[in-house]
Structure 1
Amino acid sequence: MTTTVDDNARLESRSGKFFARYYDAMTQRAEEKWGRPLRTLMFGELTGRVLEVGAGSGANLPYYAKADSLVAVEPASEMRKKLVRRAEDVPLDVQVVDARAERLPLPDDAFDTVVCTLVLCTVTDLPAALDEIRRVLRPSGQLVFFEHVRSPGAVGLVQDVLAPLWRRAAGGCHANRRLLTAFRDAGYQVRIHEVVRPWPRYPTNTPYVRGTAVPLPRPATRD
């Protein structure tokens, strides 16, 4: 069963639409070399209620082998069309939602796991998105992620220089996002499982990090 929630008021940039339309073709080689085994490793054992933020065209859908249900959030209309079609072909109960990570139209404490793959680099307001993810996660929940982060050293400096141009050309992707620092600042305990540097390496998106982030208890407030 697939449900789509529309948000016709949102405007998408021309470059964003182009990037979404051809993203699958651009990433086909990487998907064949290392994407599929990685998705099996990351999602094959997830159980309970799962939320995927920035589900794109649905590349992860076939790999949720043990999940009870999936809510797939995707704001880009071109991506979402493909996502809806793919959702019809999997046995999992999938709800497709048109929304941004910064404002999830979902209840508090609703999900066992939130999944983010190659999406947090495109979020406009990262602290707001991480706060929303924290809100919808159950107290014992986890954020499972695979994202590229700012590289140390000279490559990181190159990313700093290229970031404004790359953001306009690549659907809002921030080449130099300090994601791990943002996780910690937002109150998550981060565990890095793997640092991936696939070949060929492009200076705008290396290295990749696979990990989990668990929200720490918020400090008690005094009246």
Structure 2
Amino acid sequence: MNNYDRLAAQAERKLGPIRADLLGGLTGRVLEVGVGTGVNLPHYRNAAEVIGIDPSDVMRTTLTAKLEDPSFADRPPSVQVADARGEQLPFPDESFDAVVCTLVLCVVDDLDRTLTEIRRVLKPAGRLVFFEHVRNEGVVGVAQDLLTPLMRRALFGCRPNRRTLERMRALGFDVLISHYQLRPWPRPPANSPYFGGVATLRHRGEA
């Protein structure tokens, strides 16, 4: 287990069942944006193929080593790892049945560009499955705005004031939020609330 996995292990006791519920029913070809060290892979119970992208050499090297280990058998039948960013996905239009983002949309450099690319590569009936933290309301949200520059430096680019759900809707997604509205622990104190759910494509002509 590398340092990243070790630090995340306590939070995964609560997040693991959520990942399983969100991802277990996905079928066909799945793209995971920000695959990291592969914590989601055991939960793709029905996916035919998973392509995970990550711009971090360290994360990709760690995951590749895991995939080459015969003991890491709890994974989809086909897994590929690629060096890519969410803002520029190297895949054709309408090529995935689902795109998965878990705790990654807070760190991408350009959220709107990433969501636009996700929309492009999804099939018309495809789904964006997500678990993310977003900007809070009221005084907490203002505090998040003030803390964001510091947290970006301290937490690998994390932006606690991202209006992720709002941007999904503005960029052509219909968002169905599940009951996963929680405060996992341990977590940075400014990161809340968390939401999990599914977003589908709003087609042209729909309000």
Asked if Structure 1 and Structure 2 have the same fold, meaning a TM-score greater than 0.5 normalized by the shorter chain, the answer is: yes
CA contact 2:15–2:184 (8 Å) conserved in 1: no
**1:140-155 alignment, distance < 5 Å:** 140-155=125-140
CA contact 2:11–2:186 (8 Å) conserved in 1: no
CA distance in 2, matches of 1:73, 1:143: 15
Partner of 2:46: 66
Consecutive unaligned residues of structure 2, counting only runs of 5 or more, are none
2:161 aligned to which of 150, 169, 176: 176
Asked if residue 215 in structure 1 is aligned to residue 201 in structure 2, the reply is: yes
Partner of 1:165: 150
Inter-CA distance 199–57: structure 2 relative to 1 (3 Å threshold): closer
Inter-CA distance 184–28: structure 2 relative to 1 (3 Å threshold): same
Inter-CA distance 202–153: structure 2 relative to 1 (3 Å threshold): farther
RMSD between superposed Cα atoms in Å: 1.7
Give 2:198's aligned amino acid: T
Inter-CA distance 71–91: structure 2 relative to 1 (3 Å threshold): closer
Consecutive unaligned residues of structure 1, counting only runs of 5 or more, are 1-20
CA distance in 2, matches of 1:219, 1:82: 45
Q: TM-score, structure 2 length as denominator?
A: 0.90
CA contact 1:44–1:64 (8 Å) conserved in 2: yes
Inter-CA distance 25–204: structure 2 relative to 1 (3 Å threshold): farther
CA contact 1:110–1:136 (8 Å) conserved in 2: yes
What percent identity do the matched residue pairs reach? 52
CA distance in 1, matches of 2:149, 2:20: 34
Asked if residue 50 in structure 1 is aligned to residue 30 in structure 2, the reply is: yes
CA distance in 1, matches of 2:184, 2:112: 28
Give 1:69's aligned amino acid: E
Secondary structure of the structure 2 residue equivalent to 1:62: helix
CA contact 1:160–1:175 (8 Å) conserved in 2: yes
CA contact 1:122–1:173 (8 Å) conserved in 2: yes
Partner of 2:5: 24
Q: TM-score, structure 1 length as denominator?
A: 0.84
Aligned length: 199
CA contact 1:118–1:146 (8 Å) conserved in 2: yes
CA distance in 1, matches of 2:30, 2:47: 7
1:196 aligned to which of 157, 182, 188: 182
Q: CA deviation at 1:59?
A: 0.3
